[in-house]
């Protein structure tokens, strides 16, 4: 019954009525004992994501208390099922724009009114390629918060018991064999969620990321779709992708029906070992570990081609789920500097890094670092696996970051119909193509 | 007749403040909103006028028409069911039954709760409780989660609407039933009519005004339903249960098409206005003719 | 008479079954508010294996319940009070004034009742922020907005009532030397009791439960109302059902208590509003 079904929705918030900039320390937050002649007040919209909001708040509280930069950060929260633009546009209208915002798909909307990160030290530290999505017309509108990855999550204990080694699965047929082996061991092979965002934003990404080996080629596919010139059914990669879709559907626990779809059910199935695999992302790892604290849960690629070595077959989808943007339209120069200072603290100091990437149980946010110079790294099984994939360059692009607003919803609706068996391949392809027409 | 000066004085004392607030909060923003529909407003800035382009686009937008159609169906279903159920409840609790007060309270209670919270409650019922109940009792109706199929999700919204609003209408009908003059009923008793005849031939025509008001209130609420839609179905499955309010909202805030969302909102107002005028006109004619 | 009694028993059973159906959702929420997350998901109908009263303490804590309750109360009382004063005065003016201006104004008010809030939301926020009037996002601002949005319906209700009050009363007071404001305050307004109850109840229910307006106006976390706070239990991927149910219970409780205390007035209020 998740009210929020939108994977990439950053927790949004609404600003504070206080004057944005005020001078003098007297009333400043936690400024006692510091030498600040002047405290710069800034606002941070949302808590990056709901799951780590307590840790985030604690981090900001500590930052405000130590106050090395003479900056006071105020977190702006709001009801969670609220689209980013619904929160942000009234704030801009009201002249109370938040200083720091985190978002992904709305970056193009925000680009004209946010700070250009080009040449900033933090942007230089960001891992290669992570700024591409946030670069709009040559302007670097945001810097990455973290990387997330999705693919086939697996329960190592179940796979070991069935004698399956994930490293040996390099093609769709081998995946089918692995499913067979797990079945024989008496466990359902996979939990394939029919959640619209899982299908619409993540599973469709597997096709788009495999569609071409280079970014230009992948974007060309999007352009063709936009122009209404793409015939998906005649694309062999799309065919492969549909075959894999069918394979997961055929092997999912229960029947493939969005009626039986529930995020928590997926967590439970994989955590207790009722299934061997689950198509999901590393954000589920804390949930899995809560359910089964001593479990080992990893992630592997979704091979769609039947030829080993085909581009993408050995890679997991890795991307940046949200970018940090700094308002440049209503924030003063001091406030923009202050906002940079906060992010610099998080990303470059030991204290900040401990909050940023430290383990959840120690009060950290468990973010996979995407910057040079990190001394803290996540300790969990899946997070370290992902780090290995990143180090080996075995990553697929999140082409879904380039989906226009609303497309993943339309994709999700079409995919759910196919998942439910309401539509056939031709209808599905036609609906995916039609999603671009709007 | 008052003098002009007295009139102005009275206006200043009684009407100036309320009307100023009304104009500031409602009229000016509405005008501003209408102005936006002729521009390329993106939620932040306006760069140019586009004439009627937004309206043309709205008329060509399938999603808009689908939502509009769904909304009309929802309004029609709510209009009938809320009032039939509300009326039946009113009849029941005006009978000489034991525990009438308790019954009234039970029927009215859902009305106290806001749409968002109602939606969360029923999401839990349809998603979790009913399927388990169906399994336990063998009643197949609720076996599947109703919110995951377009048709049943639509009826789920109607059911919750009836559950929420029928108690309110019940109160209105109770009042109307109680205020029917006894002489009219006694006269009919002498005529030897039975209870059913009395209901349809005597009582209901005398309650015409209550029907007018109940129908208007139901229609207005149903057209503007947003909270319940958002928290119960969120427009799912496949985005097929988006009523017009939610559609307008998503168009603006999820998709960032602010001018087009605003245009759809203005069109929504026009449709509601036409429907409300028609309903009131028809009801009034009926009231007069009785 | 025996047959009549049998019929009554039949209707009594029928009505009782309906009442149980109406109450069922509340019972479910109550029952699940003392369970843990897993149990809510797997055994929603079963009796709790362990009664977790802690859910309530935690829900109160996570929602900042007492603060939210205070905010909701202040906003509701403030707004309803302001609506009663402004709309009764406006209605008095409109009902007593025979000018063309006042009849046009009345029509505009009636028409405005069907303007959807969605059509106003953004254009109106812009007028009041720092770029416009610079109103802060607090209880007074939101009460001001509620007056703007609520004055039409309330004026309409008062108007119907006041037109039935004989004009002679005003005149008599005027002859005694009372000013119009004084006439209104000491003679007319006291006669509006029943419809004032209607106006108070209709607006209180609306404002107490409202979600959209507070979500765009109440900018400060410390000022959030109960409906806004109910959402803290629903996460991006997963929700804490047991806590959420406890949260729903304590969200509903104040208005239910209010109903039981004011039952008579509420019912009378709705009745008066419907049949003027």
Q: What token pair was written down for C234?
A: 């629903």
Tell which residue, A257, A256, A248, has the closest CA to residue A280: A248
- Taking only the tens place, the pLDDT of each residue in A382-414 is 988 998 888 888 889 889 888 887 788 889 889
Q: Compute the nearest-CA separation of C68 from chain B (Å).
A: 15
Under an 8 A CB cutoff, do A109 and B42 touch?
yes
Q: Could you say which residues from 186 to 225 on chain C have a Cβ atom under 8 Å away from some Cβ of chain A?
A: 211, 215-216, 218-221
- Taking only the tens place, the pLDDT of each residue in C110-162 is 888 878 787 787 677 667 766 666 677 788 888 989 999 999 989 988 888 88
Q: Give dist(CA B19, CA B102) in Å, integer.
A: 42
- Taking only the tens place, the pLDDT of each residue in A95-119 is 888 999 998 888 988 999 999 999 9
Dihedral angle sign, alpha carbons of residues A371, A375, A376, A377: positive
Classify residue A87: in a domain, yes or no: yes
Using 50, 70 and 90 to split pLDDT, how confident is the model at B290?
very low
Q: Give dist(CA A18, CA A13) in Å, integer.
A: 15
Using 50, 70 and 90 to split pLDDT, how confident is the model at A249?
very high
* Maximum Cα–Cα distance across chain C: 75
Name C240's Cβ contacts closer than 8 Å, sequence gap at least 6.
C37, C233
Q: Compute the nearest-CA separation of C45 from chain B (Å).
A: 6
CA angle A427, A206, B242 (to 5 degrees): 50
Q: Could you say which residues from 97 to 116 on chain B have a Cβ atom under 8 Å away from some Cβ of chain C?
A: 97-99, 102-116
Tell which residue, C191, C180, C181, has the closest CA to residue C158: C191
3-class SS at A324? strand
Specify the residue for token string 């005597």.
B202
Dihedral angle sign, alpha carbons of residues A193, A194, A195, A196: positive
Classify residue B122: in a domain, yes or no: yes
Q: Give dist(CA A267, CA C37) in Å, integer.
A: 13
Q: Could you say which residues from 131 to 150 on chain C have a Cβ atom under 8 Å away from some Cβ of chain B?
A: 144-145, 147-149
What secondary structure letter does DSSP report for A400?
G
- Taking only the tens place, the pLDDT of each residue in C29-86 is 888 888 877 777 777 777 888 888 888 888 898 888 999 999 999 999 999 999 999 9
Under an 8 A CB cutoff, do C97 and B11 touch?
yes
> For residues B268 and B64, is the Cβ–Cβ distance under 8 A?
no
Asked if residue A159 and residue A125 are part of one domain, the reply reads: no
Tell which residue, C81, B277, C219, B153, has the closest CA to residue A90: C219
Classify residue B39: in a domain, yes or no: no
Q: What token pair was written down for B254?
A: 């999820």
- Taking only the tens place, the pLDDT of each residue in A256-298 is 666 566 788 888 899 999 999 999 999 888 889 888 999 999 9
Classify residue A267: in a domain, yes or no: yes
Range of the domain at A237: 150-319+394-437
Identify the CATH number of the domain in which residue A415 sits: 3.40.190.10
Name C154's Cβ contacts closer than 8 Å, sequence gap at least 6.
C83, C84, C87, C88, C91, C199, C202, C203
C109 touches B at CB < 8 Å? yes
Q: What token pair was written down for A61?
A: 């509280």
C166 touches B at CB < 8 Å? no
Q: What token pair was written down for B97?
A: 């039954």
Asked if residue A94 and residue A240 are part of one domain, the reply reads: no
CA angle A238, A240, A244 (to 5 degrees): 115
Asked if residue A210 and residue A64 are part of one domain, the reply reads: no
Classify residue B51: in a domain, yes or no: no
Task: Out of A3, A6, A89, name the one closest to residue C234 (CB).
Answer: A3
Asked if residue A250 and residue A190 are part of one domain, the reply reads: yes
- Say yes or no to pLDDT of B232 above 60: yes
The total of structural domains in chain B comes to 1
The mean-pLDDT minimum among A17-21, A347-351, C99-103, C241-245 falls in A17-21
Please, what is the angle between helix C2-32 and helix B150-178, to 10°? 130
Classify residue B197: in a domain, yes or no: yes
3-state helix, strand, coil in chain C (%, to 5): 80, 0, 20
Q: Which residues of A touch C136 (CB under 8 A)?
A: 17
Task: Out of B117, B214, B220, name the one closest to residue C230 (CB).
Answer: B117
Region for B214 from its dihedrals, namely left if φ exceeds 0, alpha if ψ lies in -120 to 50, beta otherwise:
alpha
Chains with 3 or more CB pairs under 8 A to chain B? A, C
Identify the CATH number of the domain in which residue B73 sits: 1.10.3720.10
Classify residue B264: in a domain, yes or no: yes
In chain C, the domains with their CATH numbers are 28-274 (1.10.3720.10)
Q: Which residues of C touch B227 (CB under 8 A)?
A: 211-212
Q: What is the mean pLDDT of chain C?
A: 82
A50 touches C at CB < 8 Å? yes
B278 touches C at CB < 8 Å? no
Classify residue A207: in a domain, yes or no: yes
Asked if residue A162 and residue A115 are part of one domain, the reply reads: no
- From the CB of residue A338, how many other CB atoms can be counted at a distance below 10 Å? 24
Classify residue A111: in a domain, yes or no: yes
- Taking only the tens place, the pLDDT of each residue in A285-341 is 888 988 899 999 999 999 999 988 889 899 999 989 889 999 999 999 999 999 999
A82 touches C at CB < 8 Å? yes
For residue B64, what is the nearest residue in chain A, using CA coordinates? A438
Classify residue A407: in a domain, yes or no: yes
Asked if residue A250 and residue A187 are part of one domain, the reply reads: yes
Asked if residue A413 and residue A310 are part of one domain, the reply reads: yes
The total of structural domains in chain A comes to 2
Q: Give dist(CA C42, CA C247) in Å, integer.
A: 20
Classify residue A6: in a domain, yes or no: no
Name A126's Cβ contacts closer than 8 Å, sequence gap at least 6.
A143, A144, A370, A371
Q: What token pair was written down for C81?
A: 């009070």
3-class SS at A75? strand
* Maximum Cα–Cα distance across chain A: 71
Under an 8 A CB cutoff, do B26 and C44 touch?
no
Using 50, 70 and 90 to split pLDDT, how confident is the model at A19?
very low
Asked if residue A191 and residue A87 are part of one domain, the reply reads: no
Q: Which residues of C touch A96 (CB under 8 A)?
A: 129-130, 219
Is the bond preceding A369 in cis, omega lying within 30 degrees of 0? no
Under an 8 A CB cutoff, do C238 and A7 touch?
no
Report ipTM (2 d.p.): 0.84
Strands A395-396 and A316-319: parallel
Task: Out of C125, C211, C241, name the one closest to residue A94 (CB).
Answer: C125
For residue A108, what is the nearest residue in chain B, using CA coordinates? B256
Burial grade of A167 (CB within 10 A; 0-12, 13-18, 19 or more): exposed
Element (H, E) at C187: none
Classify residue B13: in a domain, yes or no: no
Q: Give dist(CA A222, CA B136) in Å, integer.
A: 49
The whole-number pLDDT of residue A155 equals 95
Cα C6 → chain centroid: 41
B114 touches A at CB < 8 Å? no
For residue B37, what is the nearest residue in chain C, using CA coordinates? C119
- From the CB of residue C176, how many other CB atoms can be counted at a distance below 10 Å? 10
Which residues are A43's β-sheet partners? A74
Q: Compute the nearest-CA separation of C5 from chain B (Å).
A: 10
Asked if residue A423 and residue A342 are part of one domain, the reply reads: no
Classify residue A241: in a domain, yes or no: yes
Classify residue B14: in a domain, yes or no: no
Using 50, 70 and 90 to split pLDDT, how confident is the model at A251?
very high
> For residues A39 and A28, is the Cβ–Cβ distance under 8 A?
yes
Percent of chain B with pLDDT over 90: 18
Q: What is the mean pLDDT of chain A?
A: 85
Under an 8 A CB cutoff, do C237 and A287 touch?
yes
Q: What is the CA radius of gyration of chain B?
A: 24
Under an 8 A CB cutoff, do B128 and A1 touch?
yes
Q: Which residues of C touch B97 (CB under 8 A)?
A: 8, 11-12, 15
Task: Out of A5, A85, A417, name the one closest to residue B256 (CB).
Answer: A85
Q: What token pair was written down for A132?
A: 């591409």
Classify residue B43: in a domain, yes or no: no
Under an 8 A CB cutoff, do C126 and A267 touch?
no
Range of the domain at B280: 60-289
For residue A264, what is the nearest residue in chain C, using CA coordinates? C238
- From the CB of residue B45, how many other CB atoms can be counted at a distance below 10 Å? 11
């Amino acid at each position: 019954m998740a009210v929020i079904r939108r994977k990439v929705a950053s927790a949004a918030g609404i600003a504070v009525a206080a004057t944005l900039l005020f001078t003098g320390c007297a009333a400043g937050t936690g400024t006692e004992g510091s030498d600040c002649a002047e405290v710069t007040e800034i606002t941070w919209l949302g808590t990056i994501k709901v799951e780590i909001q307590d840790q985030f708040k604690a981090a900001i509280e500590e930052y405000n208390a130590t106050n090395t930069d003479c900056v006071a950060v105020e977190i702006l929260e709001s009801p969670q099922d609220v689209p980013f633009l619904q929160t942000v546009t009234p704030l801009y209208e009201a002249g109370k724009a938040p200083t720091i915002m985190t978002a992904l798909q709305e970056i193009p909307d925000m680009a004209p009114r946010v700070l250009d990160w080009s040449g900033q030290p933090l942007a230089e530290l960001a891992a290669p390629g992570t700024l591409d999505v946030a670069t709009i017309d040559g302007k670097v509108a945001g810097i990455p918060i973290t990387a997330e990855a999705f693919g086939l999550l697996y329960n190592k204990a179940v796979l070991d018991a069935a004698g399956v080694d994930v490293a040996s699965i390099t093609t769709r047929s081998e995946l089918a064999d692995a499913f067979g082996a797990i079945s024989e061991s008496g466990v359902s092979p996979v939990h394939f969620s029919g959640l619209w965002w899982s299908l619409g934003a993540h599973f469709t990404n597997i096709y788009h990321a495999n569609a071409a080996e280079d970014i230009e080629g992948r974007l060309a596919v999007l352009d063709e779709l936009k122009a209404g010139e793409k015939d998906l059914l005649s694309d062999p990669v799309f065919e492969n992708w549909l075959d894999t879709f069918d394979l997961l559907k055929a092997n999912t626990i229960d029947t493939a029906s969005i009626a039986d779809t529930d995020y928590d059910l997926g967590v439970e199935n994989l955590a207790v070992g009722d299934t061997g695999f689950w198509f999901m992302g590393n954000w589920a790892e804390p949930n899995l570990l809560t359910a089964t604290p001593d479990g080992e849960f990893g992630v592997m690629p979704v091979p769609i081609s039947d030829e080993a070595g085909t581009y993408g077959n050995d890679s997991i989808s890795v991307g940046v789920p949200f970018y940090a943007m700094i308002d440049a339209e209503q924030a003063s120069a001091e406030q923009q500097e202050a906002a940079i200072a906060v992010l610099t603290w998080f990303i470059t100091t030991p204290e900040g890094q401990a909050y940023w990437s430290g383990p959840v149980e120690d009060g950290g946010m468990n973010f996979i670092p995407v910057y040079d110079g990190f001394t803290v790294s996540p300790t969990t099984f899946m997070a370290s696996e992902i780090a290995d994939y990143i180090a080996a360059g075995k990553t697929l692009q999140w082409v879904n970051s380039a989906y226009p607003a609303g497309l993943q919803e339309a994709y999700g609706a079409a995919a759910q119909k196919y998942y439910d068996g309401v539509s056939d391949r031709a209808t599905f392809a036609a609906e995916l193509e039609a999603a671009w027409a709007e | 007749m008052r003098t002009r000066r007295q009139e102005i004085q009275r206006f200043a004392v009684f009407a100036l403040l309320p009307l100023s607030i009304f104009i500031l909060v409602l009229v000016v923003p509405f005008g501003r909103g209408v102005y936006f529909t002729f521009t390329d407003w993106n939620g932040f800035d306006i760069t140019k006028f586009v004439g009627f382009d937004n309206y043309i686009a709205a008329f060509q937008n399938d999603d808009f028409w689908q939502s509009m159609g769904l909304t009309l169906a929802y309004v029609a279903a709510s209009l009938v069911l809320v009032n039939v159920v509300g009326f039946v409840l009113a009849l029941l609790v005006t009978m000489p039954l034991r525990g009438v007060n308790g019954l009234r309270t039970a029927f009215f209670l859902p009305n106290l709760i806001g749409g968002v919270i109602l939606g969360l409650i029923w999401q839990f019922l349809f998603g979790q409780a009913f399927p388990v109940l169906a399994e336990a009792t063998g009643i197949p109706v609720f076996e599947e989660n109703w919110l995951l199929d377009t048709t049943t999700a639509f009826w789920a919204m109607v059911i919750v609407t009836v559950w929420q609003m029928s108690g309110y209408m019940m109160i209105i009908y109770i009042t109307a039933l109680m205020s029917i003059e006894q002489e009219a009923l006694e006269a009919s008793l002498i005529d030897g009519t039975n209870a059913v005849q009395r209901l349809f031939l005597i009582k209901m025509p005398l309650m015409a005004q209550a029907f007018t008001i109940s129908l208007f209130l139901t229609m207005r609420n149903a057209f503007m339903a947003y909270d319940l839609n958002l928290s119960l179905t969120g427009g799912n499955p496949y985005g097929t249960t988006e009523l017009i309010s939610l559609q307008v909202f998503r168009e603006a805030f999820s998709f960032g098409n602010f001018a087009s969302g605003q245009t759809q909102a203005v069109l929504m107002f026009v449709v509601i206005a036409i429907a409300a005028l028609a309903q009131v006109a028809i009801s009034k004619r009926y009231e007069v003719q009785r | 008479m025996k047959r009549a009694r049998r019929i009554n028993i039949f209707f009594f059973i029928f009505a009782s079954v309906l009442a149980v159906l109406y109450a069922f959702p509340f019972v479910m929420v109550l029952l699940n508010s003392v369970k843990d997350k897993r149990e809510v998901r797997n055994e929603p109908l079963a009796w709790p294996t362990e009664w977790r009263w802690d859910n309530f303490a935690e829900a109160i804590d996570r929602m900042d319940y007492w603060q939210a309750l205070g905010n909701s109360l202040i906003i509701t009382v403030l707004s309803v009070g302001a609506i009663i004063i402004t709309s009764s005065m406006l209605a008095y003016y409109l009902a007593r004034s025979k000018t063309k201006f006042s009849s046009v104004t009345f029509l505009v008010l009636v028409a405005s009742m069907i303007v959807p809030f969605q059509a106003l939301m953004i254009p109106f926020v812009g007028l009041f922020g720092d770029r416009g009037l610079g109103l802060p996002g607090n209880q007074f601002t939101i009460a001001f907005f509620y007056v703007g949005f609520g004055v039409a319906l309330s004026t309409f209700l008062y108007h119907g009532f006041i037109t039935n009050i004989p004009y002679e009363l005003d005149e008599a007071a005027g002859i005694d030397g009372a000013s119009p404001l004084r006439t209104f305050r000491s003679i007319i307004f006291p006669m509006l009791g029943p419809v004032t109850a209607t106006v108070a109840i209709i607006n209180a229910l609306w404002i107490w439960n409202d979600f959209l307006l507070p979500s765009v106006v109440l900018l400060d976390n410390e000022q959030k109302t109960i409906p806004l706070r109910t959402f803290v239990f629903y996460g991006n991927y997963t929700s804490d059902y047991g806590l959420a149910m406890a949260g729903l219970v304590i969200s509903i409780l104040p208005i239910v208590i209010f109903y039981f205390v004011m039952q008579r007035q509420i019912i009378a209020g709705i009745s008066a509003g419907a049949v003027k």
